[in-house]
Amino acid sequence: MVKKYQGKIFRIESKDYYVWDESGNIVRCSLRGKFRKELRIKKDKLLTLDYAVVGDYVEFIRNKDATGMITGTFRRINFLSRKALKSKAALKRGERIEQIIASNIDNLFIVASILEPQFNNKLIDRIIVAGESNNINVSIIINKIDLEKKESKLWKKFYEGIGYQVFPTCAIKSIGIKEIKNKCANSTNIFWGPSGVGKSSLLNCMFGLNLKINEISHYSQKGVHTTVSCSMFKVGDNTFVIDTPGIREIAPYGIKKEDLGFYFQEFVPFINKCKFNTCTHTEEPDCAVVEAVENNKIDLMRYESYLNLLDTIEEDIYF
């Protein structure tokens, strides 16, 4: 009988899956073809681009050359995902395409910069929904506050008013670093946001990593991708951080239109007062959420983010 081992994926490069075994040793693994086929059958009509991801606990066998072959994954506590970009796969009737970023996450740190690139609250709101809909604790980092202190304070107050913990930071001056580091202790943390906002710089400053850093493009004023795939780093006892590629767009996956409002925290106290339990908070009569917007109990900017995201939700096909 072939002996099976357990481990955790911390990096993926092309078809190579790098796994920490139970002793902390690194094993380069491949993914067993039969496992991919079996998983597709279990997923029924759900088409996923990722059978095993960073953060997954896996079962593998060892080859004679000291490499390994992953034969299965253990159940995920949660995972962070988004709809796959259209360039990666074409939708067919009855198939829903999901790109899983990482799994088994305690904290999602949404990283934004106040300038260079410009703070984008609508993108932040989309990432919040991706985290909230997957039961991940969400915090917001506003980096590069040395470039614009007044506006940084306004956005901090805005998101704290909704209920999110906000960390104003400046990586080059080590401002706010200690607070985030304390929040990361004894947990698995993922840092996600647009390119060029300083995710890698923050991680280098906090944990002494040596992640590659590039400046933003002076032509487009947008970030340049330096991280090309997710990587997990062990930075302390039971403390892990995940660096991710920068994103320019995101559409959260698997959300019905009538459920979207539950992932906007300030909507929740009003949702149960709507006349219809399938209310999308747009044109339905007696909508308590719309009334709250009109009475300035819900900020108009957040409601506009909600409407913008609602327009992008495709009707999933359920069987």
Domain count, the chain: 3
- For 94, 108, 184, 282, 296, the CA distances from 260, given in Å and listed in that order, are 21, 19, 28, 12, 20
Boundary residue ending a domain (185, 214, 243): 243
Contact 61, 68 (CB under 8 A): yes
pLDDT band at 217 (very low <50, low <70, confident <90, very high): very low
Domain that holds residue 306: 257-312
Residues 67 and 27 in one domain: yes
Boundary residue ending a domain (99, 122, 141): 99
Q: Which letter does DSSP use for residue 84 in this model?
A: P
Residues 170 and 140 in one domain: yes
pTM, 2 dp: 0.89
Residues 199 and 300 in one domain: no
Cα–Cα dist 234/242, whole Å: 9
pLDDT above 90 for 159: yes
Residues 14 and 117 in one domain: no
Contact 104, 77 (CB under 8 A): yes
Residue with the larger pLDDT of the pair 167 and 254: 167
Tell me: the pLDDT tens digits for 38-51?
555 444 444 555 67
Cα–Cα dist 158/152, whole Å: 10
Residues 95 and 111 in one domain: no
**CATH code at 301?**
1.10.40.50
Residues 75 and 12 in one domain: yes
Residues 110 and 95 in one domain: no
pLDDT at site 86: 59
**CATH code at 205?**
3.40.50.300
pLDDT band at 92 (very low <50, low <70, confident <90, very high): low
